[in-house]
Amino acid sequence: MGGVGGSATDYGTVTLVAGGTLVGAGLLGTAWYLRRRNKPYRL
């Protein structure tokens, strides 16, 4: 009795681009934060 679940919805191009942009922004933000955090502080 298995179903297709959430994969039955056909998402448009705009939705996929918006999702990819959010994922990319999250990855860039995480990399920037970790890189900034690891630098030694210089006064």
Residue-wise pLDDT for 12-43, tens only, equals 899 899 999 999 999 999 998 888 876 666 55
Tell me whether residue 4 is in a domain: no
Amino acid letter, residue 31: A
- Domain count along the chain: 1
In degrees, to the nearest 5, what angle opens at C-alpha 18 toward C-alphas 12 and 23? 125
Tokens read off for 42: 């210089």
The kind and range of the H/E element at 38 are helix 13-38
Entry pTM: 0.61
pLDDT at 41: 64
Tokens read off for 39: 């630098």
Tell me whether residue 6 is in a domain: no
Tell me whether residue 1 is in a domain: no
Q: How many Å apart are CA 39 and CA 41, to the nearest integer?
A: 6
Tell me whether residue 23 is in a domain: yes
Tell me whether residue 28 is in a domain: yes
Is 6 a residue whose pLDDT tops 70?
no
Tell me whether residue 29 is in a domain: yes
What residue numbers bound the domain in which 19 lies? 13-37
Tell me whether residue 5 is in a domain: no
pLDDT at 20: 95
